[in-house]
Amino acid sequence: MAHHKRSSLCSSVVFFCVTLTATCFIMILFSSYGLCIYEFALLFVVRIFFLKIIIITGGHLEQTPRRLILTHDTQLPYTPLGEEEPPGSRTRGESRMASRISPDKRFLIFFDFDETIVDETSDDVVVQTAPGQHLPAWLKDTYQPGRYNEYMQRVLAYLAEQGVTESDIRGVMEKLPATPGMLALLQFLRNRPPQDFEVVLVSDANTFFIESWLRRAGARSLFHRIFSNPATFNRDGRLVLKPFHAHDCPRCPENMCKQAVVREYVTRRTQERGRPYQRVFYVGDGANDFCPAIAMGPRDVAFPRRDFPMHRLITETHEAMPGEFKAVTVPWASAEEVVQRLRKLVAE
């Protein structure tokens, strides 16, 4: 093949020389038409020559490899623990910290965000940036059950109209307090051997709120994936919120079913790894965290925040339908209780 290309290349050089000689003869004959015909003829021959070269070499030009960023399946550069992901590199709905997650992870752990990682609801806290730190009654009255995402879109639009900036919103998010013991739990996961935990966040808040807090806390690099409603600032300085996805689960708000997210992720990662995880853990607090928890198996562990909706729903299910909820249940008031149980489980 290489010899064939060299021979073809030589013939192309001969072709070029003959064609150039003929062209010069033509240019002499038509010199009276001006300089432009020289330029045109010479350019024509050069283009023909290089086109033939490209065809002979297979049509390939050597280029510097580049990492592509694709919607919904983004490959982002890996950021080691302790370092932060470059601003603006998150994806719509899904954020990644690694271009490829190691297939050697033993355990998969999911986290909610509001009232699980942080001790407040970020959607409530953003209201602190509004004039007088409250919303007008007419805006509150637009809320409809099951359509909270649409309501928050209107809230964020109102805040932008009142002059609230990206810096203002980031500032209040960075001040959100962590739940009791949560920083100890995140540090525990950070300090474990790299083959232990694959850490994923699933939240019905939004990507901007979540990433703002995680970066400030120095915890962003711990999370391999973040699934949440995409939120980015437009040219007018308004934080534009969109729903994560559509689904048909009757238990969940129309913009996100966490069970659908968890099921799809576990299935995809199991196929990529070629084997299941030893255990799956879920740390949450709300009613929408109950939905993914009911799909967990008997070796998996649900960590509901004690006396919060997720915990109450699990308790009610155990009482009304014994055996229906299969995962081991470990309620927590402080996330240090989660650390204690995880220490025992990873040692088994």
Catalytic residues: 112, 114
Q: Is 133 left (phi over 0), alpha (psi -120 to 50) or beta?
A: left
Q: Of 327, 330, 328, 346, nearest to 338 (Cα)?
A: 330
Q: Of 203, 208, 185, 189, nearest to 115 (Cα)?
A: 203
Residue 304 host element (H or E): strand 301-304
Q: Around Cβ 347, how many Cβ atoms within 10 Å?
A: 6
| Three-point CA angle 267, 272, 274, nearest 5° | 90
Cα gap 304→270, rounded to integer Å = 25
In degrees and rounded to multiples of 5, residue 201 shows phi and psi of -115, 130
Q: Around Cβ 203, how many Cβ atoms within 10 Å?
A: 27
Question: 231-233 and 94-96 as β-strands: parallel, antiparallel, unpaired?
Answer: unpaired
Residue 107 host element (H or E): strand 107-111
Q: Of 287, 295, 282, nearest to 148 (Cα)?
A: 287
Q: Which parts of the chain fold into alpha helices (H)?
A: 2-29, 35-56, 122-125, 137-140, 148-161, 166-174, 182-191, 207-217, 258-273, 287-293, 309-320, 336-347
